[in-house]
Amino acid sequence: MSKRPPSKRFSARWLERLIPIVLFLLLMGLLAVIIITALSFL
């Protein structure tokens, strides 16, 4: 959450593959919350 991250890079192949999957699942969870909450109001 930094505005100016330093340029030191990390490298871990398993992590590089896992993170986008986890982020996608979190995004789907967020969308589910938004949809269910909105539907409960209607």
Quick check: 13 binds other proteins (CB under 8 A)? no
Residue 6 Cβ vs other proteins, minimum distance, rounded to whole Å: 6
Compute φ and ψ for 29, nearest 5 degrees.
Answer: -60, -45
| 20-22-26 Cα angle (round to 5) | 115
Residue 16 Cβ vs other proteins, minimum distance, rounded to whole Å: 7
Q: How far is 33 from 27, CA to CA, in rounded Å?
A: 10
Residue ranges binding other proteins (CB under 8 A): 1-3, 5-12, 15-16, 19-20, 22-23, 26-27, 29-30, 32-34, 36-38, 40-41
